[in-house]
C-alpha cells in the first residue's frame, strides 16, 4: 500500500465552502490511470487532479484531471486549484508579485499566471485555447424542455450554440434571473439533443440579470449525463462563455468579465474572464480566480 498525500481547496472563492471543491494529489508518480480513476471516484468531487513530472522539461508540471467517471483533457477549476496548491507548497517558482508557469494537460501546454500577496498565492489565471464556435440549436422549444423551462424563457435574440476552448459546452441564453433559478436539467432530453443535433450533453445557461454588483452574467452548468447534476464553478466553460459574450457584443474585448455561478447550490463562485481581440478575431482567452485552502490528508492506495 502507498500513502498518497492530497490537498483540498475551494476554487473561485475567497472563503471556505464556497466555489468548487477540488482534491489535488501532488505526487502522482507511478500511479496507473485505473488507480487515479478509483481515487477520484472515492473522493466523489467533480474533479481530482494528479501532478506528475512534465514530458517537456521546459514546462513545470504535467496534470491529469479525473471526474468520478472519466478523465478530462482540460478543465478550469482543476487548473486554477492545482496551481494554487503547487504555489502554496513551494513546488513552483516563487518570488516577487507574480510568476508564470506552464502546465501540461490533455489539450497541450496551459500557461498560468500566479499573483502573490504577503508571500502567498492570492490569484491564479490560466490561458485557454482559442475558441471554436458551432453548431447551433435552432429548436428553442426543445432547449427549453430539456431545462424544464417555457420557450419564452430562452432569449430568441441570441443563438443557442456550442463553443469550445478545449472542451465543448452548449450555451443557452436566458431572458431573466428568475428563469435561471427555475432551470432543472432533463438528462434524457439532453442526451436526445446530443444524439440528434450533435451537441455535447451538457448545458451552460446564463442571463445578464445578476445577483451581485460587479458581475456581468449569472451562470449555471448542468451535466447530469456525466454524473454532475450541477457544477458550482466551471472554469473550462467560462472561457468559451466570455468568447460568446464578446462575439455577440454583450461584453467588450479587454474588459474584466465576472461570471457568478453556484449561487443556487449555496456555493457562490466568482470567475474572472478576459478576452482579447485582434481585429475581428479572438486572440487570447484567460480565466482566473481566487482559492481557499480547506485541508489535507492521506489516502491509502
Q: Minimal CA–CA distance to 205: which of 237, 246, 250, 167?
A: 237
Q: Minimal CA–CA distance to 73: which of 48, 106, 95, 26?
A: 106
Distance CA 290, CA 87 (A): 13
Distance CA 301, CA 53 (A): 20
276 is catalytic: no
The separation between the first and the last C-alpha atoms of the chain, rounded to the nearest angstrom, is 6
Which is catalytic among the residues 47, 125, 161, 230? 47
Helix (H, G, I), strand (E, B) or coil at 106: coil
For residue 113, give the C-alpha cell.
499566471
For residue 289, give the C-alpha cell.
480566480
Q: 187: part of which helix (H) or strand (E)? A: helix 187-197
Instruction: Tell me the catalytic residues.
Output: 47
Amino acid at each position: 500500500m502507498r500513502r498518497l498525500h492530497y490537498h483540498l481547496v475551494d476554487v473561485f472563492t475567497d472563503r471556505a465552502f464556497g466555489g468548487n471543491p477540488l482534491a489535488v494529489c501532488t505526487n502522482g508518480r507511478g500511479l496507473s490511470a485505473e488507480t487515479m480513476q478509483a481515487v477520484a471516484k472515492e473522493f466523489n468531487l467533480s474533479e481530482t487532479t494528479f501532478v506528475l513530472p512534465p514530458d517537456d522539461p521546459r514546462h513545470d508540471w504535467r496534470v491529469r484531471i479525473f471526474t468520478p467517471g472519466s478523465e478530462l483533457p482540460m478543465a478550469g477549476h482543476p487548473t486554477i486549484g492545482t496551481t494554487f496548491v503547487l504555489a502554496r507548497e513551494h513546488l513552483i517558482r516563487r518570488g516577487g508579485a507574480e510568476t508564470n508557469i506552464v502546465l501540461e494537460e490533455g489539450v497541450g501546454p496551459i500557461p498560468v499566471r500566479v499573483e502573490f500577496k504577503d508571500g502567498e498565492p492570492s490569484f491564479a489565471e490560466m490561458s485557454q485555447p482559442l475558441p471554436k464556435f458551432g453548431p447551433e440549436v435552432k429548436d428553442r422549444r426543445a432547449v427549453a424542455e430539456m431545462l424544464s423551462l417555457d420557450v419564452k424563457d430562452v432569449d430568441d435574440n441570441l443563438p443557442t450554440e456550442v463553443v469550445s476552448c478545449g472542451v465543448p459546452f452548449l450555451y443557452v441564453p436566458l431572458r431573466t434571473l428568475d428563469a435561471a433559478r427555475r432551470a432543472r436539467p432533463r438528462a434524457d432530453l439532453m442526451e436526445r439533443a446530443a444524439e440528434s443535433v450533435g451537441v455535447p450533453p451538457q448545458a451552460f445557461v446564463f442571463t445578464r440579470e445578476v445577483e451581485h454588483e460587479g458581475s456581468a452574467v449569472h451562470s449555471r452548468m448542468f451535466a447530469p449525463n456525466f454524473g454532475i447534476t450541477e457544477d458550482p464553478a466551471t472554469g473550462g466553460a467560462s472561457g468559451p462563455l466570455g468568447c460568446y459574450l464578446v462575439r455577440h457584443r454583450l461584453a467588450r474585448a479587454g474588459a474584466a468579465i465576472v461570471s457568478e455561478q453556484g449561487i443556487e447550490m449555496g456555493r457562490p463562485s466568482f470567475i474572472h474572464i478576459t478576452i482579447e481581440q485582434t481585429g475581428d478575431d479572438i486572440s487570447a482567452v484567460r480565466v482566473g480566480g481566487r482559492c481557499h485552502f480547506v485541508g489535507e490528508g492521506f489516502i491509502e492506495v
